[in-house]
Chains A and B, each alone.
Chain A
Amino acid sequence: MKRRTHAIIGWTTTVSLGLLFWFFFAVCYRHHGHYQEQMQLFLFTPAYFLELIGRPGGLAIYLGRFFTQFFYDSFTGGFLVALLLVALQRLVRDAANQVTRLPSAQLLTCIPSLLYAAVLCDENMLLNGLVALVGAMAAVAVYNRIGRPAARAVYYLLMVPVSYFLWGVGALVFVLLPPLTECIRRRRWTFLLTLLLPGILLFAALPFLAKAVYMQYPIERYLLAGDYYRFVHAYPVAFLSVFLFTALLPLLYRVLPRRRYAAARMQYASQLLLLALLAALGVWRVADWKKEELMAYDYYARVQKWNSILAMADKKAPTGPLTVAMLNLALSRTDHLPEYMFTYYQNGTEGLIPSFAKDHLQPLMVGEIYYWLGLINTAQRFAFDAMETIPDYQKSVRAVKRLAETNLINGRYAVAAKYLSLLENTLYYRSWAKQTRTYLANEARINAHPEWGTLRSYRPGEDFFFSETEKDQMFGLLFQQNPSNRMAYEYLLAFTLLKKDLPAFYRYYPLGEGTITYGMIPRAYREALALIWSQVNYDPARKPHGLSDRAVGRLENYRGIFTTQSDPASALKRTHGDSYWFYFHFGTN
């Protein structure tokens, strides 16, 4: 096969690989990117750069976060990840070419990129590791271009500590690859002693040296320098094995057989098949689509794309408490909660408003509900605590934005200004922050703002303590203090329905009379009222106002099946699975 053909195949492979990665991270798996983006606060300030660059692996951390911020727009974020993965492939190819030129096996150089893409499917795997790997492989490429052996040796020994300091533990690739390449290429095993051994010893000593200088972290933090994983005290072996594989893959080229033209075609075909298998395996086994779904719900709630949430739920009804809670929030924001909530799966009161958990995502999601309810202090607390829970001690751009909003609504302008000034140093939130700054201390403008002004009016005038165990009472107090707070009313009633507390529902239902109006009684309320009436044997004197005969007829139909079928749950699921009655008898609260 001609050299030019190999080159064309090589570039076609690279471009195809890049497009594949781009499509995957920008479209299929984009919400993982959105999740990553919100778990950091990348600032374009010298202080931020200096703080990171002063740590072992600091440049990898800085650049990793730099690239991650672009996932604000998944198209750009996905492109940059694809670019890094493609750069890795080209650098592995270059390293392999230094061992021996074997163009017919060049597709194998895609494997490290594929493996690392699989690693990145874990939402806690940060881009720092990929940046480090590319950085270390770039250092290898430079090594391979130094002509004089003595200069190469000096460069190698200098770059071992420098690479560790810049890229962290990913520098292992640089420690291994050049000396082993020398050994194999020149068949001189003395390199193992003269280069590899000092390199490994130096590399092994570096974490301990770092610990001696920077005392405030346990040694494990330096052994895994670079913070590639969000849980900085954890030991994920997956990415370390990818690093090792990347270092050793180019060396395999020495033992791969050379093929003639016809055989080379077969070799390409088999490599393509292998890559396709690896990619399919990665998507099937490693990608976490349940988390992708959760992150999609979170993303749409965060950017207020309520109809996207409803569309998702229509395709596949959510079942987890958080996803169901986001669906209920979307229903509420589109004024559909009491009408349609039981047409979807309901997860009890935890699926309406989950209890606080010490987690870096859950409080952000639940905080959205409190925010829209007008419990601004609680939304603020959830945002703050979520941010403080981020395992690698980062701050959250989403939380900071929410803190700026809550402080603005609460009239804490100096604190709001502090958060806005931070956001003004970001790429994607700068314009929002600058615009929001114009609202500071401008009471009239805030009050007239469709979101902040309304939420400001929803805030409780009389104080009470937040209580996880008395949420219905909090909703009641919110509504009592501002009867225009429709969401508080509907959440109060939804809470009682989900708790299957019909007496409480019946007690609270009339609170909305005169202030909350509906064209007709919403379905959930209708069905609950019919059920309540049926419990007093349809006493005409106690018939709920506005309850239609049709609703009662449907309930009677339901009761007929309930009492006559041997397996009423299955039968009713088909005919009345979207009713409150079905939830009341068979749902989990």
Chain B
Amino acid sequence: MRTIKEYLRIGIAALALCLLTACAEQLKDVREVMELPAIYPDYTGVTIPATLAPLNFSYDGPAERIDVVIEGTRGGKIHLQGKTARIPAAKWQSLLQQNKGGQLNVTVVAKFDDGWRRFVPFPIYISDAPIDYGLVYRLVAPGYEVYSQMGIYERDLSSFSQKPLIENTLIASSCVNCHSFRQTDSEYVSLHVRGKQGGTVLKTNGETDILDLKTAETLGRGVYPYWHPSGRFVAYSQNDTRQVFHARDDKRVEVFDLSSDLTVYDVVNNKILTSPLLSTPGFETYPAFSPDGQSLYFCLADFQNMPAAYTDVQYNLCRIAFDAETGRFGEQVDTLVCAAAMGKSVSFPRPSYDGKYILYTLADYGNFSIWHKEADLWLLDLRTGENRPLTEVNSDDTESYHSWSSNSRWFVFSSRRDDGLYTRLYLASIDADGKVTKPFKLPQQDGRRQDPSFYSFNIPEFTAAPVELDLREIERDLLSGKRRKAE
């Protein structure tokens, strides 16, 4: 349902652009202001990839219109004027390519009641490091117990094009979640359809299966999947999750597990692999394979009586060895970050694919960090052992789920910094020396602050190429009830 809509939008936008261009006002009596313009999203001084969609923005205040000049240090210029800055895509892409490795200088002149004001120009740096084709995320309302229409979508990072991969409207009364790709490889997909006719959709090398991962030994169906780099295994967490609701206004929802274990699904042999070390009375969750496939990182907390002791549940970042040849786990669990000792709790450990870092979320307690305002991103340097908060990207509000680009030079993360509730996506780069740049919001066609969407962005994952799912086959298989039952 989106293609025609998009074409119509583009048409209207083009028409509006023509009209606006035709109606451009002359800048008269411009006053110089020695400060940066208050623009939304804040793109001042950000570093972006050379293939990114236009950074449309608006003046975050009572300006009637803005006049914007974007000039590349290596040539090229775009001049536009309107209520918001809607940058022509083709000119923008050409400007980025021309200035790859250089920078753009953006001059904003805004018209107020008392006339035009020119602000200090700000730079946008164009990185040499490429970024992947797109992002896959779930769009879901930040609700409580009930969900309306939602789905998993793919966004082309070079444009505003977003296409649904699967929506919960396909199967009545279903929910779709937990999508995962093998190190951004869209040929290897795992996602869940929950509900009466649900199942785990697993795509490997063009073959799609609907799995039932519940066995007599496991707590439930697998969630929070993570692919082994070989594509032969997928690690899952089995969580008996509950939620309760706060009465005080500074918190809304508390999500916790009554129990949780880890398993690894052997795709080739259709078997569930586990270890007593991964199904202890404690809480194990959020598995992630190391890029060499020899370790499984995960979060582990001591058992607590729930929900009474929910604030006492604090997860450490742990590791266990994994032998992909035999499918066996190591004999011991190592603790990499003892967050509990800091009075904190780790969630979403995500190793960079070059093996240098683990990016994770740190909150005061628990593992459902999206409802924790204090949750921040932290970076563990696996070469030096340095463990630090990513102050370059953190905000006063929640930072939560995150993932790496295939070259480990970019990461995307979800943040509630915009309004404290609706999660939005931000991206940042990290260079060879570990220097992290100022994050930028995923470009949106409409750069205004008041975003009418009821959706939060959830579980952003990079994909190196467009995801191809045979939806007709998936629908048929889900409705047929046939499942590949894991052993």
Which A residues are closer than 8 A to B by beta carbons?
A: 43, 45-47, 50-51, 53-55, 213-218, 221, 233, 356, 358, 375-378, 380-381, 384-385, 387-390, 393, 395, 409-412, 414-415, 417-418, 421-422, 425, 459-466, 474, 477
Is B249 a contact partner of A415 (Cβ separation < 8 A)?
no
Listed by A's residue number, 22 A-B pairs whose Cβ atoms lie within 8 Å are A46-B9, A50-B5, A54-B5, A215-B471, A216-B167, A217-B170, A358-B145, A377-B248, A380-B252, A384-B143, A388-B143, A393-B169, A410-B249, A414-B419, A415-B421, A421-B452, A422-B452, A425-B452, A459-B248, A461-B248, A465-B307, A466-B244
Whether the pair B249, A459 counts as a contact (CB closer than 8 A) is yes
B9 touches A377 (CB 8 A): no
- Which residue of A215, A387, A410, A461 has the most chain B CB atoms within 10 A of its CB atom? A215
Alpha-carbon distance between A464 and B475 when the two chains are bound, in angstroms: 43
Q: Which residues of B contact A384 (CB under 8 A)?
A: 141, 143-144
Closest A residue to B479 by beta carbon equals: A218
- Residues in A with CB closer than 8 Å to B472 are 215
Q: Which residues of A contact B144 (CB under 8 A)?
A: 381, 384-385
Chain B residues whose CB sits within 8 angstroms of the CB of A221 once the complex forms: 169
B452 x A47 contact (CB < 8 A): yes
Which residue of chain B has the shortest Cβ distance to A467 in the bound complex? B244
A387 to B254, CA, bound (A): 21
CB pair B248 A463 closer than 8 Å: yes
Pick the 9 closest A-B CB pairs, nearest first. Answer: A414-B419, A421-B450, A463-B248, A393-B149, A410-B249, A54-B5, A216-B167, A388-B146, A466-B245
Residues of chain B at the chain A interface (Cβ within 8 Å): 1-5, 8-9, 12, 141, 143-149, 151, 164, 166-167, 169-172, 244-249, 251-252, 254, 307, 418-422, 450-452, 454, 471-472, 475
Would A377 and B252 be within 8 Å (CB), given that A218-B170, A395-B454 are in contact? yes
Which listed residue (A216, A464, A466) contacts B166, Cβ 8 A? Answer: A216
Asked if residues B146 and A375 are in contact (CB atoms below 8 Å), the reply is no
Partner of A418 from B143, B146, B151, B451 at Cβ < 8 Å: B451
The DSSP consensus for interface residues of chain B is loop
- Given A375-B247, A466-B247, A50 contacting B8 (CB threshold 8 A): yes
Give Cα A233–Cα B149 distance, bound, in whole angstroms: 14
Per the bound structure, the CA–CA distance linking A385 and B143 in Å amounts to 7
The reply to whether A388 and B148 contact each other, CB–CB distance below 8 Å, is yes
Q: Is the CB of B245 within 8 A of A45?
A: no
Residues of B within 8 A of A417 (CB): 419, 450
| Distance between Cα atoms of A378 and B8 in the complex (Å) | 40
Shortest Cβ gap from B167 to chain A (Å) = 4
Tell me which residues across on chain B come within 8 A of A393, comparing CB atoms. Answer: 148-149, 169
14 additional contacts, CB 8 Å, given A216-B164, A415-B420? A215-B170, A216-B151, A216-B471, A218-B475, A375-B247, A377-B247, A377-B249, A378-B245, A378-B247, A393-B169, A411-B249, A422-B452, A462-B248, A463-B247
Contact A389–B419 (Cβ < 8 Å)? no
A55 adjacent to B1 (CB under 8 Å): yes
Distance of A401 from chain B, by nearest CB (Å): 14
Neighbouring B residues of A387 by C-beta, 8 Å: 148
Number of A-B contacts (CB under 8 A): 127
Q: Does the CB pair A46–B252 fall under 8 Å?
A: no
CB distance from B426 to the nearest CB of A (A): 16
Which residues of chain A are near B248, meaning CB under 8 Å? Answer: 377, 459-463
The residues of A that contact B471 with a CB separation of less than 8 Å are 215-216
A5–B172 CA distance with the chains assembled, in angstroms: 55
* Distance (whole angstroms) from the CB of B321 to the closest CB of chain A: 40
CB neighbours (8 Å) of A389 from chain B are 146, 148
Q: Bound complex: CA of A390 vs CA of B148, how far in Å?
A: 7
Q: How far is the CB of A232 from chain B (nearest CB, A)?
A: 8
Contact in complex: A377, B164 (CB < 8 Å): no
Closest residue on chain B to residue A215 by CB atoms: B471
Contacts of B167 in A (CB 8 A): 216
Report the minimum CB–CB distance from A436 to chain B (whole Å).
14
A463-B245 contact given A393-B148, A415-B419, CB 8 Å threshold:
no
B149 to A418, Cβ gap below 8 A?
no
B-chain residues with CB within 8 Å of residue A474 when the two chains form the complex? 247
Please state if B421 and A412 are interface contacts (CB–CB under 8 Å): yes
Q: Contact between B169 and A388 (Cβ–Cβ < 8 Å)? A: no
Q: Which residues of B contact A465 (CB under 8 A)?
A: 244-247, 254, 307
The smallest beta-carbon distance between B471 and chain A, in angstroms, is 5
A216-B169 in contact given A45-B452, A377-B245, A412-B421 (Cβ < 8 Å): yes
CB-based nearest B residue for A233: B172
The docked-state distance in angstroms from the alpha carbon of A414 to that of B244 is 24
Chain B residue nearest to A46 in the complex (CB): B12
Closest B residue to A422 using CB positions = B452
Partner of A376, one of B145, B171, B249: B249
> Contacts A410-B249, A459-B249; is A418 near B1 (CB within 8 Å)?
no
* Closest B residue by C-beta to A376: B249
Which interface residue of B8, B147, B422 has the most chain A CB atoms within 10 A? Answer: B8
Nearest CB of A to B466, in Å:
15
Instruction: List residues of chain B with CB within 8 A of the CB of A377.
Output: 245-249, 252
| Bound Cα distance from A61 to B246, whole angstroms | 38
Please, which residues of chain B bring their CB within 8 A of the CB of A51?
A: 5
Instruction: Tell me the smallest distance from the CB of A101 to a CB of chain B, in Å.
Output: 43
Cα distance, A62 to B45, chains bound together (Å): 43
A459 to B12, CA, bound (A): 46
Closest to B167 in A: A216
Contacts of A381 in B (CB 8 A): 144, 245, 252
B158 smallest CB distance to A (angstroms): 22
Q: Provide the residues of chain A in CB contact with B475, threshold 8 Å.
A: 218
Contact, CB under 8 Å: B169 / A50: no
Query: From A416, which residue of chain B is reached at the shortest CB distance?
Result: B419
User: A417 CA to B246 CA in the complex, in Å?
Assistant: 23
Provide the bound-state CA to CA distance between A388 and B145, in Å: 9
Q: Looking at the assembled complex, report how far the CB atom of B236 sits from the nearest CB atom of chain A, in whole angstroms.
A: 26
Q: Is A50 in contact with B9, judged by CB distance below 8 angstroms?
A: yes
Q: How far is the CA of A411 from the CA of B171 in the complex (A)?
A: 38
CB distance from A347 to the nearest CB of B (A): 24
For B147, the closest partner residue in chain A by CB is: A388
Bound Cα distance A410, B167 (Å):
33
A residues near B9, Cβ cutoff 8 Å:
46-47, 50
Give A376 to B252 CA distance when docked, in angstroms: 10
Q: Are A216 and B143 in contact (CB under 8 A)?
A: no
Most chain A CB atoms below 10 A, which of B307, B418, B419: B419
**B420 partner residues in chain A, CB cutoff 8 A:** 412, 414-415
What's the Cα separation between A45 and B448 when bound, in Å?
A: 14
By CB atoms of chain B within 10 A, which of A217, A233, A356 has the most?
Answer: A217
Q: Which of B148, B166, B172 has the most CB of A within 10 A?
A: B148
B365 to chain A, nearest CB (A): 14
Q: A50-B5, A465-B246 are in contact. Are A358 and B146 (CB under 8 A)?
A: yes
By a CB distance below 8 angstroms, the chain B residues around A461 are: 248
Residue of A nearest to B245 (CB): A466
CB distance from B171 to the nearest CB of A (A): 7
CA A43 to CA B454, docked complex, whole Å: 14
Residue of A54, A389, A466 contacting most chain B CB atoms (<10 Å): A54
With a cutoff of 8 Å between Cβ atoms, the chain B residues found around residue A477 in the complex are 247
* Chain A residues with CB under 8 A of B1: 54-55, 214, 216
Set of chain A residues within 8 Å of B169, measured between Cβ atoms: 216-218, 221, 393
Residue of B1, B143, B252 contacting most chain A CB atoms (<10 Å): B1
Within 8 Å CB of A464, what residues of B?
246-247
The residue in A375, A384, A387 that gathers the most chain B C-beta atoms within 10 A of its C-beta is: A384
> Contacts of B5 on A, CB cut-off 8 Å?
50-51, 54
Residue of A nearest to B13 (CB): A46
Question: A528 vs B422: C-alpha distance in the bound complex, in angstroms?
Answer: 49
A463 engages B146 (CB within 8 Å): no
Residues on the B chain within 8 Å of A376, using CB: 249
Q: Which of B148, B164, B247, B475 has the most CB of A within 10 A?
A: B247
Query: Which residues from B are CB-within-8-Å of A466?
Result: 244-247
Give CA–CA (A463, B311) in the complex, Å: 13
Question: In the complex, what residues of A have CB within 8 A of residue B172's CB?
Answer: 218, 233
The minimal Cβ–Cβ distance linking A148 to chain B, given in whole angstroms, is: 32
